[in-house]
Amino acid sequence: MEEEKLFEKISKEELEIKEFVRPSIGYWADAWRRLKMNRLAIAGLVMISIVILLAIFGPMFSPYGYDETNLNNVYAPISREHWFGTDELGRDEFTRVLYGARISLAVGFVASFINLIIGVIYGGISGFLGGKTDNIMMRIVDILYSIPTLLIVILLMVVLKPGLTNIFIALGISYWVGMARIVRGQTLSLKEQEFTLAARTLGASRTRILIRHIVPNAIGPIVVTATLLIPNAIFFESFLSFIGLGVSAPMASWGSLASDGIRGFQSHPNLLFAPALFISVSMLSFNFLGDGLRDALDPRLRK
C-alpha cells in the first residue's frame, strides 16, 4: 500500500504531449531585435534621425536665409532670435548650420553609396575569379591603400578645384579600397561553401552566383562597412572645407563654418562650438550605430 501511494494514475489528456514551438524568426528580424537591445546603437540611430530631419525641414521654418546678411546685427549673442548667434556678416548661425548639415550629410551618404558600388563590384570580381586576375587587382588596391586617403583626396581637390561635385569625385576615386578588401575576403570564403558548389553544379553562371548567392550572404559586413564610411566621409569633407578645399562661399558646410568660427574663437566661441557640436554628435552617432550593426548582423551571435 505504501508503494501505491508513491504513484498516481494520470488521465489520457495528461498523457498527450503538447509541443510548444517558438515561431521562426528571420535573419533581419533577429538582427533588429538584437539591435534594439543595444542602447548606444539606438541612441545613435535616434540622433542621426534628428539631425537628418533638422537638415531637411529645419531651414523651412527659419525666418533667415543662409546667405542673408545684416551688417547692423554683427556678432549677435545667443538669443531667442538667433539660437547660435550671428557671424561677422550678421548671418544667422543656426540657419547656416542647418544648411551645412545638408551638404555634410549629402557628402557622407553619396560618398558611401559610390564606394559601396565600386567596392562591392571590384572586390567581388577579384575574390570570385581568383588567380592572376585577383593578384593584379589586389596589387592595385595595395598601392592605393599604402597612400593615405586624405593625401589622395587633397591632391585630387587641388587638381579638380574646390566644389561639391568634385568632392564626390575625389572621394569616389580613392575611398573604395577598404570596402573592396572586405568584400574580396568574404567572397574568398563564401565561394568555397556548399551552396556555391551546388549552384555551379546546377549550371548557374558566374555572374548569377556572385549576385544571387555570394553578395547577399556577405551583406552583413558590407552594411556595417558602408555605415562606418559615412562618418569618415563627413570628416573628410569637413577637413577639406576647413582648409579651404571644400564648398565655395556663400555655401556652407560644417567644416567651412568651423573654419570661419576659429578665427574669432576667443571673442565669439559660439561660432565654432555650433558646427563642432554637430560634427561630433554625427560622427559619434554613426560609429555607435555601426558598432551595433556589427554585433546585430553577426550570425555567430544569433540565438
User: What domains sit in the chain, N to C, each tagged with a CATH number?
Assistant: 40-60+94-301 (1.10.3720.10)
SS3 call for 92: strand
Nearest by Cα to 242 from 233, 232, 253, 231: 253
- The pLDDT of 192-196, averaged and rounded, is 83
The answer to whether 191 touches 215, Cβ cutoff 8 Å, is no
Residue 92 to residue 299: CA distance in whole angstroms: 48
Taking CA 214 as the corner, what is the angle to CA 211 and CA 217, rounded to the nearest 5 degrees? 115
Take residue 207 and report the three cell numbers written for it: 555572374
145: alpha, beta or left? (left if phi > 0; alpha if psi -120 to 50) = alpha
Cα of 273 vs its chain's centroid, Å: 24
Start-to-end C-alpha separation, the chain: 49
Q: Which pLDDT tens digit goes with each residue over 48-76?
A: 999 999 888 888 888 887 777 777 878 88
State the cell numbers at 262.
Answer: 576659429
CA angle centred on 227, ends 225 and 233, rounded to 5° = 95
Overall average pLDDT of the 182-210 stretch = 85
Helices (H), the chain: 2-5, 12-15, 27-36, 39-57, 93-129, 131-146, 149-160, 164-174, 177-190, 194-201, 206-209, 215-217, 219-242, 254-263, 270-296
pLDDT higher than threshold 70 for residue 109: yes
What confidence tens digit (pLDDT) does each residue in 130-175 have? 888 889 998 988 888 888 877 877 787 777 777 777 788 877 777 8
- Whether omega before 250 lies within 30 degrees of 0, making that bond cis, reads yes
Give strand pairing partners of 92.
86
108 band by pLDDT with thresholds 50, 70 and 90: confident
pTM of the model: 0.77
The full DSSP string for 198-220 is HHHHTT--HHHHIIIIIHHHTHH
